[in-house]
Amino acid sequence: MGTSTTYTENELVSLLKSRDSRAFGYLYDNYSASLYAVIAQLVDDMEIANDVLQEVFINIWRKIESYDPVKGRLFTWMLNIARNASIDTLRSKSFQNTQKNQPLQEKNEWIERGKTTSVDIDSIGLKKVVNRLKKEYRVLIDLAYFRGYTHEEIAEIENIPLGTVKTRIRSALIQLRDYLK
Amino acid sequence: MNIQEYISSGIIESYVLGLADEAERAEYERMAAIHPEIREAQNAFELSLEAAALQNTIVPPVHIKSKLLSAIDMDEQQPGTPVQPGYKEPVRPHAKVVKRDFTRLIAAAAVILLLMSTALNFYFFSRYREYNEKYVALIQQQTELATHNQILQTRLLEYERAVEMMKDPNMYVVKMPAAPNSPDSTSATTVYWDTRTKDVYLAVNRLPEPAAGQQYQLWAIVDGKPVDAGVFEMREGAGMSKMKNIPKAEAFAVTLEKKGGSAVPSLDKLYVMGRI
């Protein structure tokens, strides 16, 4: 596919729904780097991020039929697939075992990669914005968005009432929205 | 509920980022369907989120794209895999799995082919042995038949000659019944005497089998004296023995002598006699 080709979101979605592999290539070219950055922030491991990225795009290909443009934009839908896949991986037994066995090495790989690509994962995307939040908000967004805990689980972990958790997360999100504008 | 309050409550961000729970999502979708301004606000947040994400990128390893393209190709070649609406099952190493399955398939096919080939080898080897045995047996039988055939041919030739001799008008037939004091009164022989060549042929009609070391001898009686006409072997069938040439005789007689014949006949062992 030539770089000159551009699709509107509607065109892209209908081509993907008709199983057009060129449209899939276009989708990958335009969104893989953004989604890869999100996945990298979430799983914190290069090899696993590669696997998750593949899983995410295969799922996009397979589930495109269930995407409903009325409910939101294509990127939002893909972002949620990427987040869910990353959190599932973080929670899987095999991932937790790897982390227990080689915590230093895994971390170092990312530091190395951060250096070579001149990217500090904590300084990009949502994480950069989240880092601007005050600490009590930051902790809750980290648990809820980056680790996928439910509000109930967070109330238990942080030992604060569920209502407080909900209110604080809402407030944090409103601030995030303003930062993103 | 005041719509503006609802819009600025943080529910839109919660919904978009996937942090809203089931009840909140259901309520939000109900509200959004009624109030287009909710969707507008949602779209604005989504666009700012997307813009931020597109500015913050890490380029993934190059090989992933080609891997994915071949994986979805393979996906398309296997229609009927139901697409699950939920987001639970990890499908991550799809391409790898297919590849491994293919290798396994090849390995399984190879093993099956090897087993089939081995079985066929055993089958063909046993068939080969069976046919080889049969072949050897056939060769033996064929040799036997050929030998038998030769014997029959020889015998047939003898019959033909005997019949020709009996039909020959120049052949003089001398019937020789048992002599008065013959050791075996049922004995009988016949002499066929060619009147032109004077050749003598003897046919045994009936004579007892001689003991070992003994042989029958034919005599021609010429001017009252016995003349040796040769010894003969007992033969199967109608075969005739060619005896010595006898130019002239009044009678023929057969005696049992020692093997090879005697110069003088043993008259006590005179079996048959026939006058001309």
**Are the Cβ atoms of B18 and A128 closer than 8 angstroms?**
no
**Residue among A34, A40, A170 whose CB faces B53 most closely:** A34
Closest CA of chain A from B111, distance in Å? 33
Query: With contacts defined as CB-CB under 8 Å, which chain A residues touch B53?
Result: 34-35, 37-38, 75, 79, 125-126
CA B158 to chain CA centroid, Å, is: 43
| Residue B198: φ, ψ to 5° | 65, 20
pLDDT for B99 equals 59
Q: Enumerate helices (H) and strands (E) in chain A, giving the number of each.
A: 10, 0
pLDDT for B78 equals 63
DSSP B269: G
Q: pLDDT above 70 covers what percent of chain A?
A: 80
Q: Which domains does chain A have, with CATH numbers?
A: 1-119 (1.10.1740.10), 124-181 (1.10.10.10)
**Are the Cβ atoms of A54 and B94 closer than 8 angstroms?**
yes
Query: With contacts defined as CB-CB under 8 Å, which chain B residues touch A76?
Result: 16, 46, 49-50
CA distances in angstroms from B59 to A116, B62, B105, listed in the order given: 12, 8, 36
Q: Which pLDDT band holds residue A101 (cuts at 50, 70, 90)?
A: low
Query: With contacts defined as CB-CB under 8 Å, which chain A residues touch B47?
Result: 73
State both tokens at A30.
Answer: 């335009």
Q: What is the ipTM of this complex?
A: 0.84
pLDDT digits (tens, 9 = 90+) for B32-41: 999 999 999 9
Cα dihedral A99/A101/A103/A104 (nearest 10): -160
**Residue among B52, B53, B61 whose CB faces A50 most closely:** B61
- Report the amino acid identity of residue A64: I
Whole-prediction pTM? 0.53
pLDDT for A24 equals 93
What distance in Å separates the CA atoms of residue A86 and residue A145, rounded to the nearest whole number?
11
Q: Among all residues of chain B, which has the CA nearest to that of A128?
A: B56
pLDDT for B90 equals 46
- Region B167-195: mean pLDDT is 91
CB count in 10 Å sphere of residue A24: 23
Q: Which pLDDT band holds residue B154 (cuts at 50, 70, 90)?
A: confident
Q: Among all residues of chain A, which has the CA nearest to that of B13?
A: A173
pLDDT for B83 equals 46
Q: Are A126 and A42 in contact (CB under 8 A)?
A: no
pLDDT for A180 equals 85
Q: CATH top-level class for B171-275? A: mainly beta
- Region B45-52: mean pLDDT is 91
Q: Which pLDDT band holds residue A52 (cuts at 50, 70, 90)?
A: very high
Strand-pair category, B225-232 with B214-222: antiparallel
Q: Which residue has the higher pLDDT, B78 or A82?
A: A82
pLDDT for B177 equals 94
